[in-house]
Amino acid sequence: MSWHVLGAGSLGCLWAARLARAGVPVQLILRDSARLDAYQRAGGLTLVEQGQARHYPVPGQTAADPAPIQRLLLACKAYDVESAIAAVKPRLAPGAELVLLQNGLGSQEAVAARVPQARCILASSTEGAFRDGAAPDGEWRVVFAGHGHTWLGDPLDDHPPAWLADLERSGIPHQWSPDILSRLWRKLALNCAINPLTVLYACRNGGLSEHRAEVATLCAELGQLLHSCGQPAAAQDLYADVQRVIQATAANYSSMHQDVAQGRRTEIAYLLGHACAAAQHHGLALPLLAALHERLVQHLDACGLPSH
Ligand code: NAP
């Protein structure tokens, strides 16, 4: 049974290459026929791992292909998932399974509402990859920059799917996680405490050690939010964890900082935006978080980037 990977970007190519090299059947779904033509001219994708580039002629198609889809890895950005899933919905076979790789929260619920017939498995990954824009085939050349781990889980059904064996075979480090929502909330809280401030102070993660009081208050508000959302485990020792991440990644620019610096749309609506919407939903006043959101929205507006 073939995997379909929708979104031939950083993570989509990283997954597709590893499945293909293990002999697991996989197909890439590209945005439209112009993108498919360009992909086919490149003859497939290239994965660069530890400085070694290897080419994988993974077959490509568009959403218009008629073949049914049983197993779909959704690897586009959170703000693209709704239109992406709408395009392939008619192809989903009965009992289809979807793996949702998006960062943040909100997009997963939107997908599940659009395809109630499918099983939606949520993922949270610490792997890192980026497209090598400098190379001639940069669009389809992905650099595996950070080895990590992927947690997968289904809040509605804690039975692990049989295809986890494909991931094992492909050397994709993973774990079935009955508390996937807690993981996604914790990651969202870490993101909210670090990434927006690195954009507003134009600094590396380590620069936030000069703003300890602000980070501490944000963590206290995020902790209140996590409790109100029924995620007390995700709130445990949040401030200490945020400090640990700031120190461990002091020399790095956060993903949101990199997106803004390169003029790319951020996933704000599914991170800080989602946190503020959840606080409002629970009637919770979190003044620092709300002010941070407002400052970030103004900053993105000033940069000419979408702020929702
Ligand atoms: P990316 O490099 O921007 O790739 C997204 C891909 O989706 C692009 O190739 C885009 O096509 C494609 N796409 C969008 N709409 C589509 C559609 N309707 N049909 C077909 N393809 C479509 O993004 P990414 O970095 O892999 O991130 C994907 C998700 O994983 C995000 O939520 C991100 O936060 C999360 N994540 C990423 C990393 C990482 O290291 N990259 C790590 C952890 C989590 P075009 O090229 O045509 O625009």
Instruction: Determine the longest span between alpha carbons in the chain, in angstroms.
Output: 56
Q: CA–CA separation, 296 vs 257, rounded Å?
A: 11
Q: Which residues are catalytic?
A: 187
Tell me the two tokens of residue 81.
Answer: 């998932």
Q: In Å, what is the CA distance from 223 to each residue of 198, 218, 236, 281, 282?
A: 20, 9, 8, 16, 14
Same domain, 171 and 194: no
Q: CA–CA separation, 266 vs 244, rounded Å?
A: 24
Same domain, 157 and 195: no
Full domain range(s) for residue 246: 182-302
The four Cα atoms 208, 224, 79, 5 give a dihedral, to 10 degrees, of 90
Q: List the residue whose alpha carbon is closest to atom 40 of ligand 1.
A: 128
| pLDDT at res. 137 | 66
Same domain, 156 and 229: no
- Residue 110, classified by CB atoms within 10 Å of its CB into exposed (0-12), middle (13-18) or buried (19+), is middle
Same domain, 161 and 227: no
112-123 pLDDT, tens digit per residue, is 999 999 999 999
Q: Do you know the residue count of the chain? A: 308
Same domain, 135 and 26: yes
Q: In Å, what is the CA distance from 236 to each residue of 72, 103, 278?
A: 34, 21, 19
Domain-embedded: residue 308? no
Same domain, 207 and 297: yes
Domain-embedded: residue 86? yes
283-295 pLDDT, tens digit per residue, is 999 999 999 999 9
Contact 184 CB / ligand 1 (< 6 Å): no
Q: List the residue whose alpha carbon is closest to atom 47 of ligand 1.
A: 31
Question: Residue 210 C-alpha to ligand 1 middle, in angstroms?
Answer: 33
Q: Strands 26-30 and 128-131, how do they pair?
A: unpaired
Same domain, 33 and 171: yes
Same domain, 148 and 224: no
Tell me the two tokens of residue 123.
Answer: 């993922």
| pLDDT at res. 97 | 98
pTM of the full structure = 0.96
| pLDDT at res. 78 | 98
Atom in ligand 1 nearest the alpha carbon of residue 87: 18
Domain-embedded: residue 222? yes
Q: Domain ends where: 178, 196, 214?
A: 178
Domain-embedded: residue 130? yes
Same domain, 31 and 169: yes
Q: What are phi and psi of 100, to 5 degrees?
A: -105, 115
Alpha carbon 221 to chain centroid, angstroms? 24
Q: Which residues contact 85 (CB under 8 A, 6 or more apart)?
A: 74, 98, 111, 114, 115
Q: CA–CA separation, 68 vs 91, rounded Å?
A: 5
Q: What are phi and psi of 154, to 5 degrees?
A: -130, 110
Q: Domain ends where: 137, 157, 178?
A: 178
User: What CATH number corresponds to the domain at position 45?
Assistant: 3.40.50.720
Q: CA–CA separation, 49 vs 143, rounded Å?
A: 6
Domain-embedded: residue 307? no
Atom in ligand 1 nearest the alpha carbon of residue 130: 41
Same domain, 108 and 11: yes
| pLDDT at res. 212 | 97
- Residue 156, classified by CB atoms within 10 Å of its CB into exposed (0-12), middle (13-18) or buried (19+), is exposed
Q: List the residue whose alpha carbon is closest to atom 1 of ligand 1.
A: 9
Contact 106 CB / ligand 1 (< 6 Å): no
Order of strands across the sheet that contains 69-74: 60-62, 26-30, 3-6, 69-74, 92-100, 119-125, 150-153, 174-176
Same domain, 49 and 93: yes
| pLDDT at res. 308 | 86
**Which residue type, as a one-letter code, is found at position 59?**
P
Count of Cβ atoms closer than 10 Å to residue 291 Cβ = 10
Same domain, 163 and 214: no
CB 240 within 8 A of CB 219: no
The stretches in the chain having pLDDT less than 50 are none
Number of domains in the chain: 2
Question: Residue 299 C-alpha to ligand 1 middle, in angstroms?
Answer: 23
Tell me the two tokens of residue 200.
Answer: 């507003």
User: What CATH number corresponds to the domain at position 284?
Assistant: 1.10.1040.10
Contact 223 CB / ligand 1 (< 6 Å): no
Q: Domain ends where: 137, 161, 178?
A: 178
Contact 125 CB / ligand 1 (< 6 Å): yes
Measured on CA atoms in the order 270, 271, 277, 279, is the torsion positive or negative?
positive
